[in-house]
C-alpha cells in the first residue's frame, strides 16, 4: 500500500517520549492543532532552525512547534509548507483523520466488492446485480480489455438523482439555483419542479421517436435546460452527448457524424459577457455539413433565449426546427423511467485525440453513478446544508460528474452560472458567492490565476464568509496560485480539494479529503478509495517511494470509462497497450518523500532537453512563483544543440512593464527552483494567452507561434478572444 511505509516513522517529543506517527493523532500539542497519522514529521521544524518554515493551522500561521523535535539533517532546503485543517473542521468532516482514511482505503483495495457494494446499496436498484460485483481484464496480452461493475443490476440515473430524493422528503429543496449572465437575472427549481420539467422533455423525446440506446446531442449554454435535457435522456435510457457550446461548426459536425443523433437540442443564442454568440447558426452549419457526410438530422429542438436573441431574428428551417417553448410545456409532467442495466451507456463525451479525431468516451450507468456520488460526498466533505458551485460547463466531464450527477445523487443544491467569471468585473464570482451563500466553490487554476492577476481588492470587497471548502480542477495548480486561493479567497480557513482526474476516469482519482490530512500547496495528495495508483518508468517497472515517472492505475474502479465509441481498438491501444496490465493516464507524476502525489502534466507536454525530461507544468509553476508573473504557458521547440528548447509565454501582473531585467529574473527563478537545465531559452511576453471559453489554454496554437508556423494555426474558432493571436505574433521578437 502506498502509504504504509509512513506509519512507523519515529518522532522525538520535547519531554523525551518516543512514538510512531501512528499515535501522533492522539497527542495534544501546545500549538492547538492535531497531527494526522502518517505525516512525516521530518518536515516540522523548531523555531531557530536555518530552514525554519511556517506550518499553517486554520487561519493562523504557526512558525514554531515547541512540542516537536526532529533531526535537522533530514530537512531539505526546498520542503513545502504543510497546511493543516482546523480542529473544528476536522471534527465535523466526513473523514476525520488520516487513520480513518487508511482503514477505508485498505478495505476498498482488499475487498473492492464489499466496499463498493455497501455504497451501491444506498441507491435504488430495480434489480440487484449478480454474484460478481465487478469483472475486469486490463492486460491486453490476455485478450480484449473489459471493465464491468454491477452488471445485471437494473437501475436508472435520473430516478436516483430526482425521484429517490423527492421520496426522501427533499421535493421542496432547491435543486438548481441559476444565475444569468446579466446581474439580477436568476431563477431556481426545486427537486419536484425539476422532475416535472425533466419529465416533459423526456415525454417529448419519446414522442418524436427517441428510445433507449438512441443518441441525443445537446449543444447549449449554461441554462437550466442543459442539465434538464441530460436528465431527460437518462430518464428514458437515451444516450446524451453534450458538446461544449463554444466548439465550432466543424467540431460539432465531427460529433454528429460519429454518433448519429436522433435530435440536436440547442439554443438560438447566448450572451457571454457583452458578446452575443449565435449558437443556432453554428448548429445549422453543422447539420448541413453532416448531411453532406451522409448523416441527416431530422429534428433540431431550439430553446429561445430572448435575452440574447429574439425569436423573430433567428434563422429558421420549417419542418426541421422546433421551438422548445412551443412544445415542451404541453407535455405531461409524469414520465415513467426506463430501467437500464448498470452497464448500459449513459453518455458519450468527446475529448481531444492526438490524431485530430475526437475520442468518444463512453460512460455507463451503474458504476459511474456510484463513483461520482461517492467522490462528490467525500472530496468536498458535502453536507445537506451546502450550496455548491462549480464554474465548469456541462460540455466537459466536470459538468457531467460535478454539476449534474454527483451533486444531485447526494440531494445537493447546485448553482449554475450562465456567464463569464469576470463580467461585468473581476468581482462577479464573489458577488455570486455572497448572493447565494455558496459554501463549496470548485473552479480551474486558470481562473484562479486570472483573478489573482486582477488584484485582491476584487475579492476582499465581498464577505465570502459562507465559503468552507474550495476546489481546483483541470490542470495542476501551481503553489503560488494555491496559496492565493487559500489565503485571499478562503481567508486561510477553507481546505482546497485539488483534484486530479480525467474525462476517462469519470470522477476524482487523486484528491485531498478536507479535514483529513495536511495539504501541500500544489499537490493532489493521495489516491481516492478504490484507486490503486502506480508510478512506472519507461519500461513499465513500478517505482517505490520517492520517484517520478508515468502515472498508471493497477485495476479498475467503478467510474472508469468502458470504451471509445465505435473504436474499441483505439481504446485498448491508447490506454492499455503502453504498459501491460495497467491503465495509462497519459500524465507524468512524482511522489515525494512523504507519499504526496504531484502531477507534472501530460506526458506529451514533457520537453526533452539534452536528455532531461522536463514537465511543462514544473517550469510554469516556477515562473508563476515570481511576484510579477501572473500566468505562464511553456511549450517545446526544436533546438539544434539540445534537441528541444524551452519556450515560455509569460503574462505579467497588470501594470508591470516588460523589461530585459525581468526576463533575467524569471529565468533565474526557474534555475533556482528546478535547475539550470530547465531554464527557458525564450521568454515571450503575452498580454494574455489563447484560451477556450472554459479557460483551457490552447497549447497547439502556442507551439505554432513559437515555431514561427503562424500560417498553420488550424481551427481557432473555440478561442474566447481571437485577437490574442495577433498580439502574440506582434510580440514574438520583442
Secondary structure of 599-622 as H, E, C letters: EEEEHHHEEEECCEEEEHHHHHHH
528 burial (CB, 10 Å; 0-12 / 13-18 / 19+) is: buried
Whole-angstrom Cα distance, residue 321 to residue 533?
A: 48
Whole-angstrom Cα distance, residue 231 to residue 221?
A: 16
Q: Are 421 and 391 in contact (CB under 8 A)?
A: yes
Measured distance between the N- and C-terminal CA atoms of the chain, rounded to whole angstroms = 52
pLDDT of residue 43: 35
pLDDT of residue 542: 97
Q: pTM of the full predicted structure?
A: 0.81
Active site annotation includes 604 = yes
Residues 6+ apart with CB under 8 A from 119: 370, 373, 374
Grid cell of 583 as nine digits: 491503465
Which of 302, 365, 373, 368 has its CA nearest to residue 339? 365
Angle at alpha carbon of residue 550, lines to 548 and 551, rounded to 5°: 100
CATH fold for the domain made of 610-731: GMP Synthetase; Chain A, domain 3 (3.30.300)
Residues 6+ apart with CB under 8 A from 182: 271, 307, 419
Which of 195, 199, 187 has its CA nearest to residue 224? 187
**DSSP state at residue 34:** -
Q: Where are the beta strands (DSSP E) in 173-262?
A: 174-179, 186-190, 215-219, 239-242
Whole-angstrom Cα distance, residue 190 to residue 695?
A: 30
pLDDT of residue 22: 30
Q: Are 662 and 691 in contact (CB under 8 A)?
A: no
Instruction: Count the alpha carbons within 13 Å of 104 in the hemisphere toward its beta carbon.
Output: 20
Of all helices (H) and strands (E), which one includes residue 723? helix 723-730
Pairing of strands 68-69, 413-417: unpaired
pLDDT of residue 404: 98
Which of 511, 504, 502 has its CA nearest to residue 530? 511
Whole-angstrom Cα distance, residue 155 to residue 342?
A: 7
The residue count for the chain = 734
pLDDT of residue 535: 98
Which of 62, 70, 85 has its CA nearest to residue 497? 85
Of all helices (H) and strands (E), which one includes residue 92? helix 87-92
Of all helices (H) and strands (E), which one includes residue 277? strand 275-277
Instruction: Count the alpha carbons within 13 Å of 181 in the hemisphere toward its beta carbon.
Output: 18
Pairing of strands 299-303, 174-179: unpaired
pLDDT of residue 128: 97
Adjacent-strand bridge partners of 302: 266, 323
Adjacent-strand bridge partners of 646: 636
- Catalytic residue chosen out of the listed positions 604, 681, 715, 733: 604
Torsion of CA 231, 237, 238, 242, to 10 degrees: 40
Rg (CA), the chain: 25
**Mutual angle of helices 112-120 and 366-379, in 10-degree steps:** 90
pLDDT of residue 486: 97
Which of 473, 423, 476, 479 has its CA nearest to residue 451? 423
pLDDT of residue 678: 85
DSSP per-residue letters across 230-253: HHHHHHHTPEEEE--TTS-HHHHH
Instruction: Count the alpha carbons within 13 Å of 696 in the hemisphere toward its beta carbon.
Output: 18
Angle at alpha carbon of residue 277, lines to 442 and 352, rounded to 5°: 55
Residues of the chain with pLDDT under 50: 1-79, 354-355
Give percent helix, percent strand, percent coil of the chain, each to the nearest 5.
Answer: 35, 25, 45
Which of 676, 379, 483 has its CA nearest to residue 83? 483
Q: CA-based diameter of the chain, in Å?
A: 85
Adjacent-strand bridge partners of 414: 176, 388
Whole-angstrom Cα distance, residue 404 to residue 432?
A: 19
Amino acid at each position: 500500500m502506498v502509504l504504509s511505509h509512513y506509519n512507523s516513522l519515529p518522532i522525538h517529543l520535547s519531554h523525551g517520549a518516543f512514538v510512531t506517527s501512528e499515535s501522533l493523532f492522539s497527542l495534544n500539542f501546545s500549538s492547538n492543532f492535531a497531527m494526522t497519522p502518517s505525516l512525516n514529521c521530518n518536515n516540522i521544524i523548531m523555531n531557530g532552525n536555518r530552514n525554519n518554515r511556517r506550518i499553517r493551522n486554520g487561519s493562523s500561521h504557526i512558525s514554531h512547534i515547541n512540542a516537536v523535535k526532529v533531526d535537522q539533517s533530514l530537512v531539505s532546503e526546498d520542503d513545502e509548507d504543510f497546511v493543516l485543517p482546523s480542529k473544528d473542521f476536522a471534527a465535523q468532516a466526513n473523514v476525520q483523520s488520516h487513520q480513518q482514511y487508511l482503514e477505508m482505503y485498505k478495505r476498498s483495495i482488499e475487498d473492492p466488492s464489499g466496499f463498493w457494494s455497501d455504497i451501491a446499496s444506498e441507491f435504488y436498484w430495480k434489480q440487484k446485480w449478480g454474484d460478481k460485483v465487478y469483472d475486469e481484464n486490463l492486460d491486453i496480452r490476455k485478450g480484449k480489455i473489459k471493465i464491468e461493475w454491477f452488471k445485471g443490476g437494473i437501475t436508472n440515473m435520473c430516478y436516483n438523482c430526482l425521484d429517490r430524493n423527492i421520496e426522501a422528503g427533499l421535493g421542496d429543496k432547491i435543486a438548481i439555483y441559476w444565475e444569468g449572465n446579466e446581474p439580477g437575472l436568476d431563477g431556481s427549481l426545486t427537486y419536484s419542479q425539476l422532475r416535472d420539467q425533466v419529465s416533459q422533455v423526456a415525454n417529448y423525446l419519446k414522442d418524436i421517436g427517441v428510445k433507449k440506446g438512441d443518441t441525443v446531442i445537446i449543444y447549449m449554454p449554461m441554462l437550466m435546460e442543459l442539465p434538464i435535457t441530460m436528465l431527460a435522456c437518462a430518464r428514458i435510457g437515451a444516450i446524451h452527448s453534450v458538446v461544449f457550446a463554444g466548439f465550432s461548426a466543424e467540431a460539432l459536425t465531427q460529433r454528429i457524424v460519429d454518433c448519429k443523433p436522433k435530435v440536436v437540442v440547442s439554443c438560438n443564442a447566448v450572451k457571454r459577457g457583452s458578446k452575443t454568440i449565435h449558437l443556432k447558426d453554428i448548429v445549422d452549419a453543422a447539420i448541413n455539413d453532416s448531411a453532406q457526410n451522409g448523416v441527416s438530422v431530422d429534428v433540431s429542438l431550439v430553446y429561445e433565449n430572448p435575452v440574447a436573441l429574439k425569436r423573430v431574428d433567428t434563422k429558421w428551417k420549417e419542418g426541421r426546427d422546433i421551438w422548445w417553448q412551443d412544445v415542451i410545456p404541453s407535455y405531461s409532467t409524469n414520465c415513467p423511467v426506463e430501467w437500464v442495466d448498470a452497464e448500459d451507456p449513459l453518455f458519450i463525451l468527446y475529448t481531444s485525440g492526438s490524431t485530430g479525431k475526437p475520442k468518444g468516451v463512453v460512460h455507463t450507468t451503474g458504476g459511474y453513478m456510484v463513483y461520482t456520488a461517492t467522490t462528490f460526498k467525500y472530496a468536498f466533505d458535502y453536507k445537506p446544508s451546502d450550496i455548491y458551485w462549480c464554474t465548469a460547463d456541462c460540455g466537459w466531464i466536470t459538468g457531467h460528474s460535478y454539476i449534474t450527477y454527483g451533486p444531485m445523487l447526494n440531494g445537493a443544491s447546485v448553482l449554475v452560472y450562465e456567464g463569464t467569471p469576470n463580467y461585468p468585473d473581476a468581482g462577479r464570482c464573489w458577488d455570486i458567492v455572497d448572493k447565494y451563500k455558496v459554501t463549496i466553490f470548485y473552479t480551474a487554476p486558470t481562473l484562479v490565476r486570472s483573478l489573482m492577476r486582477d488584484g485582491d481588492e476584487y475579492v476582499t470587497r465581498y464577505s465570502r464568509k459562507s465559503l468552507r471548502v474550495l476546489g481546483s480542477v483541470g490542470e495542476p495548480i501551481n503553489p503560488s496560485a494555491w496559496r492565493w486561493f487559500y489565503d485571499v479567497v478562503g481567508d486561510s480557513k477553507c481546505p482546497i480539494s485539488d483534484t486530479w482526474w480525467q474525462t476517462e476516469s469519470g470522477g476524482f482519482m487523486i484528491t485531498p479529503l478536507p479535514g483529513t490530512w495536511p495539504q501541500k500547496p500544489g499537490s493532489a495528495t493521495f489516491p481516492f478509495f478504490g484507486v490503486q495508483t502506480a508510478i512506472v518508468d519507461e519500461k513499465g517497472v513500478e517505482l517505490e517511494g520517492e520517484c517520478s515517472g508515468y502515472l498508471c492505475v493497477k485495476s479498475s474502479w467503478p467510474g472508469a470509462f468502458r470504451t471509445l465509441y465505435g473504436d474499441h481498438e483505439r481504446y485498448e491501444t491508447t490506454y492499455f497497450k503502453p504498459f501491460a496490465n495497467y491503465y495509462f493516464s497519459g500524465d507524468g507524476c512524482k511522489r515525494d518523500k512523504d507519499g504526496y502525489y504531484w502531477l507534472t502534466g501530460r506526458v506529451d507536454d514533457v520537453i526533452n532537453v539534452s536528455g532531461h525530461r522536463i514537465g511543462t507544468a514544473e517550469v510554469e509553476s516556477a515562473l508563476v512563483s515570481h511576484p510579477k508573473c501572473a500566468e505562464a504557458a511553456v511549450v517545446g521547440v526544436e533546438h539544434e544543440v539540445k534537441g528541444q528548447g524551452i519556450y515560455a509565454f509569460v503574462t505579467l501582473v497588470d501594470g508591470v512593464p516588460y523589461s530585459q531585467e525581468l526576463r533575467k529574473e524569471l529565468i533565474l527563478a526557474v534555475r533556482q527552483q528546478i535547475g539550470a537545465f530547465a531554464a527557458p531559452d525564450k521568454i515571450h511576453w503575452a498580454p494574455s494567452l489563447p484560451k477556450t471559453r472554459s479557460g483551457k489554454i490552447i497549447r497547439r496554437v502556442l507551439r505554432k507561434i513559437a515555431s514561427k508556423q503562424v500560417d498553420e494555426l488550424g481551427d481557432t474558432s473555440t478561442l474566447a478572444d481571437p485577437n490574442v493571436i495577433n498580439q502574440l505574433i506582434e510580440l514574438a521578437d520583442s
